[in-house]
A = this chain, B = another copy of it.
Amino acid sequence: MKGIRSILIAFGLFAFACSSASAYGPSPLQDFCVAIKDINNVFVNGKFCKDPKLAVAEDFFFSGLNRSRNTSNPVGSNVTMINVDIIPGLNTLGLTLVRVDYAPYGVNPPHTHPRGSEILLVVEGTLYVGFVTASPENRLFTKILNPGDFNIGKTAAVAFAGLSSQNAGRITIADAVFGSNPLINPDVLAKAFQLNKNVVKYLQSRF
């Protein structure tokens, strides 16, 4: 804990684009329901579960969150989501844990979690976090004067976040808008973002 410079807690999105999308999963109907893979390509809302008599402690554990992640990418950050796909015992429990690594000056780009509010705990480095709300309209909340969910220190940073869903999802705005598969018609984006169509096409080539 020596490395901790400051500890901040933020709810909602610690990014700048979409506001506090918050949806809670259904309550559990038994003590636990350890997720298993789909059966013959059939799925349910949530996950199928194994026989509770066969549950073992390993179904509820995960190790390795202490290891740094690679942040050598254009935005200089790396998000590790420990959700029900990683810890099967999280099924029906409405919680996800996230580790975010930041390179110096790295940015966790604007994003939204369609199913879950968020609480963020910085354990190493200094981060400036914020979120934009729908009402009041497009209001930006940040903790420090220099807004941005990016690392202003010269060293790497690490944060952990809790999400109120077993599968909160994550949509990075730029990727969804400019890098969908297939691509969105550039005429639409040009009009929506008030960008020249060539700029849109350039952006689409990057994402």
* Interface, chain A (partner B; CB < 8 A): 1-4, 6-12, 16-33, 36, 38-58, 60-66, 68, 74-76, 82, 87, 89-95, 97, 105, 107, 109-110, 112, 114-115, 117-119, 121, 123-124, 130, 132-136, 138-143, 146-150, 158, 160, 162, 164-167, 169-171, 173-185, 187-189, 191-195, 199, 203, 206-207
- Do residues B30 and A182 form an inter-chain contact, with CB atoms below 8 A? no
Cβ contacts A to B, 8 pairs, < 8 Å: A1-B3, A12-B32, A16-B184, A19-B31, A28-B117, A110-B189, A114-B134, A138-B179
Q: Is the interface of A mostly helix, strand, loop or mixed?
A: loop
Q: What B residues does A185 contact at CB under 8 A?
A: 146-148
User: Are B21 and A23 in contact (CB-based, < 8 A)?
Assistant: yes
Alpha-carbon distance A39/B7, docked complex (angstroms): 32
Known contacts A11-B90, A26-B29, A95-B164; 18 additional CB pairs below 8 A are A1-B68, A4-B66, A7-B64, A8-B63, A16-B189, A18-B176, A22-B23, A22-B92, A22-B93, A29-B115, A33-B45, A41-B54, A42-B49, A43-B48, A61-B143, A97-B119, A107-B192, A134-B170
